[in-house]
Chain A
């Protein structure tokens, strides 16, 4: 368990296997939700998580792989692609500058 403050998140990465489908959809909704905050949202395959990512969001089924690729990054796993409470918590932490436990 680690804690990250929403204010310290400058780049959020949505990772999935191919970076072709669901991660694209989630990234687009997050981009819209976080548009005003100035946070960069990218979608990438889980094998190429960029070094400057502050937080990684990915499906629970990929969280283990994401951790092995980016062991030093906070990883937030989710189960449903649209409206998952875990993702909502990240958005809130960024918007309100509050702490996020991951």
Chain B
């Protein structure tokens, strides 16, 4: 299915990035590639990061665009990129990016699931150390199913 919130093609667990901005560009490119956003959205993701970091703790960042960038979103979608060698995120080591393109609230339940995971040390580690896409979809996925009902 290409219209789902977390497209299997958007889960990439062996990425490398030289810098925070490099990682954000990679995230943005995946969102563009799966048809969730226009290429211009990537610049708004970089702009957002400049103003306020999207680091949320436990080695996870959730890069996304600005309010103006919402017009460049084609459908609500997420991308999960893992950087096993970590990326320096303004001094915080980031292993996992959950990149967001959203116009509506379709992704809210999935972000709620992410928040729950990050508040649980063991689950946060499991997500951070995931090497199989199935682990990511399992951790985030059960809630995603509920959201569809």
Contacts and interface: CB of A to CB of B under 8 A. Distances in A.
Contact of B54 (A19, A22, A32, A82): A22
Interface string A1-43: 0000000000000001111111011101100100000000000
Secondary structure call for the B interface: mixed
Interface of A is mostly: mixed
Interface residues of B, number: 28
A85 to B, nearest CB: 14
Nearest to A45: B67
Contacts of A83: 57, 119
Contacts, number: 68
A61 B100 CA distance: 20
Contacts of B28: none
Chain A interface extent, by class: 20 to 34
10 contacts: A16-B52, A17-B51, A17-B66, A20-B102, A21-B63, A22-B54, A24-B107, A25-B62, A61-B52, A83-B57
A61 B109 CA distance: 26
Nearest 3 pairs between A and B by C-beta?
A: A28-B112, A21-B64, A61-B52
Given A45-B67, A47-B67, A81-B56, 6 more contacts: A20-B102, A22-B56, A24-B112, A25-B115, A61-B51, A62-B52
B17 interface: no
